[in-house]
Chain A
């Protein structure tokens, strides 16, 4: 379960953001809609502990994430948060499988090849496991990054415009997979996007 309260952030005195309070329980999905420049990515980076808020508080599973050291924040990210970016990015020299296992390795967890293969099967890219990521289509790449975000059974999955570069068909596929998978591991799912197509897939949304 993730909740935020009174988050604000400023890149400069002129450019300040104040975000609405968020709440997303386990197995729930929250859609955050906003136009470009509305601070979507900033909010996501705050939730992912990549940025430190000017004020306000985030609690994950009842634990306050304020005043963490860089090392602690890294550990929380590695073990409890899975992040999916707008354009899927990978370590280009490693195979798809190794990119997925990288999540385990960087979280200092056992590298679960079987789990990776299983996820690849469910997400429909099993035949691409030993290719390089850049040999895959964008839709496939996005599914690989979903698999990567699930490897450590995180409590929170954050997706930043996961469908922006996808066509309608892939868009639905990816959103449904995201919802199914996060539901099945009992994680909270937060998607930030400007993609209006996603409204129908999510019952409720917050607009920035």
Chain B
């Protein structure tokens, strides 16, 4: 027999109202915690992949789309640009590295990306098995791709047009798997990497007339629209990731590119901040809603304790007449609020993990992103503090009545 046992017995005695209070707290905490987790993990994912990329160049269009397609591989590319123009950038004194990318094909939903080994180095990819691609039609698979597709070194496969599985397949030209990368949590986990020349080879083989202009290729639409036939020998890429030698590049280069070339320059940090500020409105609204739910939970704890206290007035007087001090009874009632708060917190945190897991499954399929940090965030410690404060306050207000209880009258009345 101790205070914890008595207050726990009281919580069990009022199952329904305890359940309601716990549920409301759990919902509020669950939503806030899920938002924190999503925010933190999306943020981490986005920032990690952005690291070391100062600028992206590609066909003119939406800069955000260019960033999303070239860095995160989640949107359609904006179009193609001549490789020659990209290569010219390499000679610019501000530019340290240029990593060209060629997009537009997929294998079972995984994007085939034509690039150079510098791309793998940039994302710190390590070869787990086999080797990195070296020549045309050799591919190195991201770790998640190998897991999901079951492809092994030496296997061959045909890619399909477009970025989803339904595209026409390039049946006659087969890629060969020469290596598999370790999973490192970056975007390359979800990619099939090959040499730039592979993409050119595939498309020249697939659509013979006329070389250079490719029909039915979403990645080449803008080119068709412009109606400028390119020379047969002019190679194209989708975009390029640029790293500057000094921050000065940030000032001079984007304007120069936008004005003087057929390309546009997009700055990842600016675009991602823009994206987050767009998402931010929704997140703020949800967070406010969750806070309101938590406050309602507090009110629910308050009302249910207040009501049960009215019924238990005699019990309180009885315990006082048996020699309990008022402070001890006050603590007893506080404990009930604390228990509810802790239960609501645990349930809410579990709820948010289940939510994250469900979200993660959906995200991995649709966006090729995996969220897998299920640990407790530092913010969630504050959330525990908040829950405890709400539980304590909601319990303390009605429980103060214990100090005003007239033992003799209460015992005599009943």
Chain A: residues with CB nearer than 8 A to chain B?
A: 41-42, 45, 48, 50-51, 70-71, 74-75, 77-79, 83, 85, 87, 89-94, 98, 101-107, 111
Contacts and interface: CB of A to CB of B under 8 A. Distances in A.
B315 A91 contact: yes
Interface of B: 1-2, 5-6, 9-10, 12-13, 312, 314-315, 318-326, 328, 407-408, 411-412, 414
Given A93-B9, A106-B322, 13 more contacts: A48-B321, A50-B411, A74-B323, A77-B323, A78-B323, A79-B323, A89-B315, A90-B318, A91-B9, A91-B319, A93-B6, A94-B9, A102-B1
B319 A106 contact: yes
Contact of B1 (A45, A78, A85, A101): A101
A206 B384 CA distance: 61
Contacts of B326: 70
Contacts of A83: 321-322
Cβ-closest 4 pairs across A and B? A78-B323, A93-B13, A93-B9, A105-B1
Contacts of A77: 321-323
A83 B318 CA distance: 10
27 contacts: A45-B408, A48-B321, A50-B321, A71-B325, A74-B320, A74-B325, A75-B323, A78-B323, A78-B324, A79-B323, A85-B411, A89-B314, A91-B9, A91-B318, A91-B319, A93-B10, A93-B12, A98-B5, A98-B6, A98-B9, A102-B1, A102-B319, A105-B1, A105-B2, A106-B319, A106-B322, A107-B323
Nearest to B316: A91
A80 to B, nearest CB: 9
Nearest to A95: B9
A102 B320 CA distance: 12
B338 to A, nearest CB: 17
A74 B13 contact: no
A98 B321 contact: no
A96 B414 CA distance: 21
A87 B13 CA distance: 21
A207 B408 CA distance: 22
A105 B411 CA distance: 21
Contact of B407 (A50, A78, A85, A93): A50
A87 B1 CA distance: 24
Contacts of B6: 91, 93-94, 98, 102
A103 B12 CA distance: 22
A36 to B, nearest CB: 11
B1 A111 contact: yes
